[in-house]
Chain A
Amino acid sequence: MAKSMSFVVGVIAVLMLLHAAYSTIQYRALLKITEDEFSGPPFEVLLELALVLVLSLFAGLTVPGNFRSILPDSDENRVVSLPANMNFMIFNHRGKAFPTETGLKLN
């Protein structure tokens, strides 16, 4: 749910970016008619671009998933035990003297 929400936000941000580009083109066309120099996009477009930046940043950070911890002592990364060395497993251990549940059978 939250993911699709931020995905929608991302789509809106892209649409807004297109809108900003379109407005700038229109503005330049207008300047050509009034024969003024183009010194930069109008203030409204700059504001829209700033908003797009924020929204797309939000979408880009939330849609792909959660961050992973890089700290060595976080629960995800802290190694608490090593794998049993299964390749070096030996079978004549004390378990031989205490056979586990009999009656198990493969049908």
Chain B
Amino acid sequence: MVSKTEESQLQQLENQVENGGGGVWEYLSLVRKLKLRRSDKVLKHGLTLLNDPKKRSALGADEWTLYEQVAIAALDCQCLDVAKDCIKVLQKKFQDSKRVGRLEAMLLEAKGSWAEAEKAYSSLLEDNPLDQVISMRRVAMAKARGDILAAIDWLNKYLEIFMADHDAWRELAEIYVSLQMYKQAAFCYEELILSQPMIPLHHLAYADVLYTIGGIENLQTAKKYYASTIELTGGKNVRALFGVCLCTSAIGQLTKGRNNEDKEISGLAAKALEKDYKQNSPEKLDLLASTLKTLKL
């Protein structure tokens, strides 16, 4: 979960680090805490920390966490040599550790030797069949090989055991959306809303899916979820505001204007949009006005 304050804090730290202002470790910790994918920056700045013996030893035990973080970032950037070196260091320190074993398997994965990676994961799973991260890696590997259906299979099996893992539910929802299986995706988003009702982005994604499915009832529900997103964000989510407008327009087309109760909410949303555009990008105000006009609001 990245809140608004954390986002601005990250932005500031990122600028500072990019301009050589120090605070590299704080930045890397924040990236790790917020679970963000900033592989190129983590690789570049993490390596400068690791290559400086003085700074590295100042980290104490956190040094190994940093090695792991940099290794994964290097894999993501296809700098396999760096990743290999990092993993070697970790291996020397933690012999027969599962976590390092996982990193090695990930290295195989990044190289594209799927069969070997699969073998490595299976042997790791044999020792501990309920290892969540390795089960997730298997899903990811199926996805990476382009075998989306197998990924769905694995993910469903995984979710049968770990039903409370909302990240997995989100992944499944995204896979379903990518395959245009909206009904299944909607189910996943319902699960997500149930488990984390205060996160507006789940409401928003659910509403998006319902709007895409279409039909008067779904549109009504989508409008309600857009409205709840607006409520949770205090009207600062532009997508939700547009969503309300689009929903009312679509409902109006389906009912041929018999439905008058929606006019009010869409009018309010349009007003909020206009205010937001006036404040943040006045040059696009005309574009907004013409868009709203075509929606007949």
Interface of A toward B, CB cutoff 8 Å: 71-92, 95-96, 99-102, 104-107
Contact = CB atoms under 8 A, between A and B. Distances in A.
Given A80-B3, A95-B76, A99-B78, A85 B167 contact: yes
Nearest to B135: A87
B44 A101 contact: yes
B79 interface: yes
Contacts of B76: 89, 91, 95
B262 interface: no
Nearest to A78: B4
B40 A80 contact: no
A3 B140 CA distance: 51
B167 A79 contact: no
How large, as a class, is the contact surface on chain B? 35 or more
A84 B36 contact: yes
Given A99-B78, A104-B43, A104-B79, A82 B85 contact: no
Contacts of A106: 47, 50-51, 70, 82, 85-86, 89
Contacts of A85: 167, 170-171
Contacts of A100: 40, 43, 77-79
Contacts of A76: 3-5
B3 A79 contact: yes
A82 B170 contact: yes
B112 interface: yes
Nearest to A106: B85
Given A78-B3, A78-B233, A81-B2, A91 B171 contact: no
A79 B196 CA distance: 12
Interface centre among A85, A90, A91 (most CB of B within 10 A): A91
Interface of B: 1-5, 7, 34-37, 39-40, 43-44, 47, 50-51, 70, 72, 75-79, 81-82, 85-86, 89, 106, 109-110, 112, 132-133, 136-137, 139-141, 143-144, 167-168, 170-171, 198-201, 231-236
A84 B78 contact: no
B3 to A, nearest CB: 6
Given A87-B136, A99-B78, A104-B47, A92 B3 contact: no
A91 B109 contact: yes
Nearest to B151: A88
B112 A92 contact: yes
Contact of A83 (B36, B51, B110, B141): B36
Contacts of A82: 1-2, 170, 199, 201
B83 to A, nearest CB: 9
B150 to A, nearest CB: 14
B236 A79 contact: no
A106 B118 CA distance: 28
Contacts of B50: 106
A21 to B, nearest CB: 45
